[in-house]
A = this chain, B = another copy of it.
Amino acid sequence: MDSRRRVPSAVFDEATAVLDEPDWRYVAQPELSPILRGALDAFYEKGFRGTTVRDISQRAGVTMPTLYYYHGNKEGIFTALLECATKDVLARAYAARDEGGDKPEVRLAYVVESILLRTLISPRMVALEPDIRFLSAPNRDRFERVRTGVERLLLGIVREGRRRGLFTVSDPVLTTRALLDMCDAVPRWYVECPPKYQAVAQKYGAIALNAVGYRADG
């Protein structure tokens, strides 16, 4: 049960990304081990840098050797949490895009909705992501690839919509960044999953459509 072995790096590859559920709109609350629950509380409160392994062991009610046995070190614990937070983000986004068929406007709204759904389900886990910058290079690269993947996906849709004259966007790269930033900031507003999270996710899809200058009557 070494959690370091649970991580297939192939989940970040579009070709092999597979969703646990066939419906990208279905997002389960991540099931966390007691160690990871304690770690989430600690990292959320104090950040990656401010958290000690001792802190996590106290919150989780397990000994330090147990922690080290399962996760190696603090980065191992943080990485295991991020894994839960990010493992199907890309697969979900691709599935959302594909459901949008040939319509860039539907694709965009669905992809943004897919990002929001998983954020709203576990905002505290997504809130850890800025601390990815403190990880060692291989782990940092691995998780940054998820973000880059989502960015490319969105940029492709924005460009396609613009090419077809559906979106009014003067700078696709800057607009795509703004869309991502808007999604990334959501954990600032929610500590727990809000009751009507599906409605919130859809509203963000609508705001994204506005942001690219799409109008149904265009």
Determine if A52 is an interface residue (Cβ-Cβ < 8 Å).
no
Copy count, this protein chain: 2
Determine if A98 is an interface residue (Cβ-Cβ < 8 Å).
no
CB distance from A45 to the nearest CB of B (A): 10
Q: Determine the interface band of chain A, counting residues with CB < 8 A from chain B.
A: 20 to 34
Determine if A146 is an interface residue (Cβ-Cβ < 8 Å).
no
Determine if A206 is an interface residue (Cβ-Cβ < 8 Å).
yes
**Contact yes or no, A189 B212, CB < 8 A:** no
**Residue interface mask A50-94, B partner, CB < 8 A = 1:** 100000000000000000000000000000000000000000000
Determine if A25 is an interface residue (Cβ-Cβ < 8 Å).
no
Chain B residues contacting A206 (CB-CB under 8 Å) are 170
Assuming the contacts A210-B212, A215-B213, asked whether A178 and B168 have C-beta atoms less than 8 A apart, the reply is: no
List 8 A-B pairs, minimum CB-CB distance, nearest first.
A181-B185, A211-B211, A178-B182, A210-B213, A49-B50, A181-B182, A210-B211, A178-B207
